[in-house]
Amino acid sequence: MSATSSAIQSTLVENRVFEPSAATVAAARIPGMEAYQALCAEAEQDFEGFWAKRAREHLSWHKPFTQTLDSSNAPFFKWFQDGELNASYNCLDRHIGTPVENKTAIIFEADGGEVTHVSYKELLAKVSQFANVLKSKGVQKGDRVVIYMPMTVEGVIAMQACARIGATHSVVFGGFSAKALEERINDAGAVAVVTANYQMRGGKELPLKAIVDEAITQGDCKTVRNVIVFQRTPTAVNMVEGRDSFMHEEMAAQSDVCPAEIVGAEHPLFVLYTSGSTGKPKGVQHSTGGYLLWAKMTMDWTFDLKDSDIFWCTADIGWITGHSYVAYGPLAAGATQIIFEGVPTYPNASRFWQMIEKHKCTIFYTAPTAIRSLIKACDSDEKLHPKSFDLSSLRILGSVGEPINPEAWMWYYKNIGGERCPIVDTFWQTETGGHMITPLPGATPLVPGSCTLPLPGITTAIVDEMGNDVPNGSGGILVVKKPWPSMIRTIWGDPERFKKSYFPEELKGYYLAGDGAVRSEDRGYFRITGRIDDVLNVSGHRMGTMEIESALVAKTDLVAEAAVVGRPDDLTGEAIVAFVVLKGQVPTGEDAKKLANELRNWVAKEIGPIAKPKEIRFGENLPKTRSGKIMRRLLRSLAKGEAVTQDTSTLENPHILDQLAQSN
């Protein structure tokens, strides 16, 4: 294909529009663009009235709120402030006495393939029992509990039990290292840690409890009084007398009734750590009322949820997607959901398709990185290919975590959705609590690679550095102009950082998302162009470049200086490239390989395997301006293998570029 014809083809691909079928529109909760526009108009005419009406409709309040939005201490917005409720009550008790009580809440499929069904009634009993366990350990309303668990029903039980007694949970992804865990336990001041002895992933038994022990000992986590261990596998682990106990033994000793502790709408439901542009992760604090409202509403709107749906979100509970669309949203909405413990490639790359067929999944929500890796594995093997499976149960597909490239979108649409299922490309963040910009299955014409339009009530816009709107077609900074119920409330323990990171003065009080975006000239559709700060997105995981740099320079016997940048990668979206100055000589050949490996393993130990640089390059120095600033844009070009075309006249040491241009 000539260059021109491929250019024409890619423009054609991007201009393709997929309208929802008449049948989908007719059956949808938001049927057609007029219905969508009517909701947007309602929110615009009476912003607070719009949200108040939904909060009354979608949630059960123990004490009704009288004030919808309190902006008196902006940007510390408060929603439904004087209202009282409980999140676990809204996810479980609320369904008792309705037909949902005997409905399956969770279809759990273990790594090895064993399947368990748990009804709403059964889940309520288990959550109550575990809530009583926490209470018996002295955990009280407002205390923090760290959850370091595999993807299991017990993980959700632990989260719901915290919510039930008003304890604020902080889930740490099971792939994080002892060091990362320790930092989070200490920052949150957790009184208890809930973990499992091991986790099963891809047929392998991986330790969790041992990492908790290491974290607590090394990090001197004085606040932790108890460690409660879910026995996932029969393998024994070290148990500390007086501190540690087994979840099943504790639960067996407790009643399965535990009245929900009623809390104020602004009570912190959870703190979830995410990467920002400094070395220290941010504890994103979410509320109870506003957060839960949006988790529930977006289940209805974005996924057009019906009673009969079998919903499957593949995200881990360690990430925000696993909070909003596994632990809270589906339960608040009374849905049946699939929870999967394992990995998409075990025992082989058809695992997802097998599970969709077996459990008759109707809504499938996953990340572009999973799709891209499965395309690679399945396209070369007929037996693994989705066409060898009956995926006719599917009606809606979703994508989340990073931009989905039009090729991956088309493959997903054709091979998984059978050209029948709308794809909702949902743009949102840990800080937004729930979806922000997304198509609606029964309304929005789809354009591959575009997350299309904001949900009703959500005021996203693209502005320049002074906060002025830019015209469609011009790129700019993505902001949200008005507050919304599920927005981040603060950074745990650091309100100043919250203000500075998300509400910089020059942006007129708008919420700064940290992403660049552009709207199409014809439809005004949003397309996210990627982060504008020092945050990378590797396989849909957020990683701060400074975090990785701090980890590298913490290897003080070896490393003098390090700079980390991202490089586009076909499979993982972005890949991590580290430029490292060692204390000794610049290594070459086998030595360089050995040292690079040592550093990669070091980063895995400091943060977690997801933070391992894909490539490490050594140099005697880093490119710096005369004032000593590292020129990251040059490093980004070098990482991509591009010729450096930028102005290098301010560079202190231009010869360094040749050295850093070489891969080891």
Residues that bind ligand 6R9 (CB under 6 A): 274, 319-321, 399-403, 425-430, 451, 513-515, 528, 531, 537, 542
- Which secondary structure element, helix H or strand E, spans residue 131, and what is its range? helix 120-136
Q: What are the backbone angles phi and psi of residue 221, rounded to the nearest 5°?
A: -75, 85
Alpha carbon separation from 196 to 1, 60, 656 (Å, rounded): 54, 33, 48
Q: Which is nearer to ligand 6R9, 143 or 425 (CB)?
A: 425
Q: Which is nearer to ligand 6R9, 245 or 537 (CB)?
A: 537
Q: Phi-psi region for residue 570, left (φ > 0), alpha (ψ -120 to 50) or beta?
A: alpha
The answer to whether 395 is a known ligand-binding residue is no
Alpha carbon separation from 514 to 261, 577, 579 (Å, rounded): 36, 21, 24
Instruction: Write down the least CB distance from residue 437 to ligand 6R9, Å.
Output: 8
The answer to whether 584 is a known ligand-binding residue is no
CA dihedral 549, 551, 553, 556 (to 10 degrees): -170
Q: Which is nearer to ligand 6R9, 124 or 416 (CB)?
A: 416
The answer to whether 17 is a known ligand-binding residue is no
Q: Which is nearer to ligand 6R9, 328 or 428 (CB)?
A: 428
Instruction: Write down the least CB distance from residue 548 to ligand 6R9, Å.
Output: 16
Instruction: Write down the least CB distance from residue 312 to ligand 6R9, Å.
Output: 16
Q: How many Å apart are CA 573 and CA 364, to the nearest integer?
A: 21
Instruction: Write down the least CB distance from residue 625 to ligand 6R9, Å.
Output: 28
Q: Which is nearer to ligand 6R9, 221 or 397 (CB)?
A: 397
Angle at 34 between CA 30 and CA 35, to 5 degrees: 25
The answer to whether 428 is a known ligand-binding residue is yes
Q: Which is nearer to ligand 6R9, 154 or 515 (CB)?
A: 515
What is the separation of C-alpha 152 from the centre of its chain, rounded to a whole number of angstroms? 17
Instruction: Write down the least CB distance from residue 7 to ligand 6R9, Å.
Output: 23
The answer to whether 544 is a known ligand-binding residue is no
Joined tokens for residue 334: 């009374």
Q: Which is nearer to ligand 6R9, 223 or 429 (CB)?
A: 429
Q: How many Å apart are CA 43 and CA 47, to the nearest integer?
A: 5
Q: Which is nearer to ligand 6R9, 403 or 417 (CB)?
A: 403
The answer to whether 637 is a known ligand-binding residue is no
Which residue stretches of 392-525 are H helix?
A: 406-411, 495-502
The answer to whether 633 is a known ligand-binding residue is no
Instruction: Write down the least CB distance from residue 401 to ligand 6R9, Å.
Output: 4
The answer to whether 632 is a known ligand-binding residue is no
Instruction: Write down the least CB distance from residue 382 to ligand 6R9, Å.
Output: 31
Nearest to 87 by CA among 261, 251, 255: 261
The answer to whether 612 is a known ligand-binding residue is no
Residue least distant from ligand 6R9 (Cβ) = 430
Instruction: Write down the least CB distance from residue 540 to ligand 6R9, Å.
Output: 6
- 109 and 338 in contact (C-beta within 8 Å)? yes
Alpha carbon separation from 332 to 12, 45, 97, 117 (Å, rounded): 41, 28, 15, 18
User: What is the total residue count of the chain?
Assistant: 664
Burial of 393 (0-12, 13-18, 19+ CB in 10 A): middle
Instruction: Write down the least CB distance from residue 371 to ligand 6R9, Å.
Output: 12
Nearest to 288 by CA among 255, 318, 261: 261
Q: Which is nearer to ligand 6R9, 519 or 624 (CB)?
A: 519
Q: Which residues pair with 528 in a beta bridge?
A: 517
The answer to whether 97 is a known ligand-binding residue is no
The answer to whether 133 is a known ligand-binding residue is no
Point out the annotated binding site for ATP.
401-403, 425-430, 515, 531, 542
Point out the annotated binding site for Mg(2+).
553, 559
Point out the annotated binding site.
201-204, 321, 401-403, 425-430, 515, 531, 539, 542, 553, 559
